[in-house]
Each structure stands twice: as structure tokens, then as C-alpha cells.
């Protein structure tokens, strides 16, 4: 998201729509998301829409020439079978 539009709740609203689609239309039971450990804005967005931090993945992805740690978050559809 461009910096001019940060802090307006656009990402939270978009994520809520994706969650609704995944749970209601696709019938998924669980959604996972991972963020770089220093990406506080993304972590705050995931927390805002009730994702739970489930752990740290060491050397999870190779980005710009180095292996980077990520936090993984999950959201469970409590209404699924």
C-alpha cells in the first residue's frame, strides 16, 4: 500500500473481505499468513482482524540475498465443520 494511504484501515477492510470469501465461499477452515519479524504494520493488521500469532519460522524465505525469519499467524473458522 502506498504510504499516502497507510493508516486509513484499507488493508484491514481488504483482509476482512478476503477472510469472508475464504471462509464463506471457499469453505476453508484455516487461513495462515506470515510476516517479516520487523513488519510491525502487517502484524498489527493481522492482530486487528483477530489472527493469532502461532510461531516464529527461522530462515523462512530467501529475500534480497538473505534468509529472513517470519512470524506465522492463523485464523480458524469457528463455524466450519
Question: According to the model, what pLDDT value does residue 77 have?
Answer: 95
Distance, CA of 30 to CA of 71 (rounded, Å)? 16
At 28-59, the pLDDT tens digits run 999 999 999 999 999 999 999 999 999 999 99
Mean predicted confidence (pLDDT) in 53-78: 97
Residue 2: pLDDT above 90? no
Which residue ranges form the domains of the chain, and what is each CATH number?
A: 3-76 (3.40.630.30)
Question: According to the model, what pLDDT value does residue 65 have?
Answer: 97
Residue 3: pLDDT above 70? yes
Distance, CA of 15 to CA of 10 (rounded, Å)? 9
Question: According to the model, what pLDDT value does residue 6 have?
Answer: 80
Dihedral of alpha carbons 80, 11, 44, 37, sign = positive
Residue 81: pLDDT above 70? no
Amino acid at each position: 500500500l502506498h504510504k499516502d494511504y497507510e493508516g486509513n484501515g484499507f488493508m484491514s477492510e481488504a483482509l476482512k473481505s478476503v477472510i469472508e470469501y475464504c471462509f464463506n465461499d471457499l469453505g476453508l477452515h484455516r487461513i495462515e499468513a506470515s510476516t517479516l519479524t520487523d513488519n510491525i504494520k502487517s502484524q498489527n493488521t493481522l492482530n486487528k482482524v483477530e489472527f493469532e500469532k502461532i510461531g516464529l519460522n527461522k530462515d523462512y524465505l530467501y529475500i534480497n540475498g538473505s534468509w529472513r525469519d517470519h512470524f506465522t499467524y492463523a485464523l480458524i473458522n469457528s463455524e466450519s465443520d
